[in-house]
Amino acid sequence: MARVPYLEQSDLASEDQDLLRRPISLFKALVNSPKAARAFSGLGGYIRYGSKLDPRLRELAILQVGWLARSPYEWSHHVKLGYDFGVTDQDIRGLIDDTAGMSTALDPLSRTVLKAAREMTDDGAMAEATFATLQADLGNEQVMDLTLTIGFYNAVVRVLATLQIDVEPDYMPYLHKFPFPA
């Protein structure tokens, strides 16, 4: 059960009702502070709709953060969203195996993106060699977008955990399909 109430559009001032166009649990909690919700949605919207980073790589990075944080909400939502952006079941199994240090069929760029997400999540920053490889492969704009994506989703998983946001029933099958280790 969330630590703050889940609000509905009818609970909000008319100028803030647009914040719940997508009425997911996270947004229903965030609108307890409409200005914060709007700021949060601004960067999140850029990451999803404005970034030039390949959407599949973006989703793999987000999934890596969700997996490492053991965030049921983030993981389930981005398994579903990942499918919309070209992530396959083989990619998800590859992420799980790569995280465990096992060999995978993932391409080198995908593995480097996952490594970058692990480094930023576990160590607080990407290693110099990882950053240099990504900069060479992606260029400055896309490596910047990747860095912001990983950093933002590290913040998101902490907000989700602190607020104890519930996974909606529609997303539960993704947790059952790809469960966290016991």
pLDDT in tens, 69-117: 999 999 999 999 999 999 999 999 999 999 999 999 999 999 999 999 9
Global pTM value: 0.97
What is the rounded average pLDDT of the residues 49-66? 98
What is the rounded average pLDDT of the residues 59-77? 98
Domains of the chain: 24-48+58-177 (1.20.1290.10)
Residue 50 burial (CB < 10 Å; 0-12/13-18/19+)? Answer: exposed
What is the rounded average pLDDT of the residues 152-174? 98
What is the rounded average pLDDT of the residues 44-67? 98
**Nearest alpha carbon to residue 118 among 145, 99, 96:** 99
pLDDT of residue 182: 85
Neighbours of 68 (CB within 10 A): 18
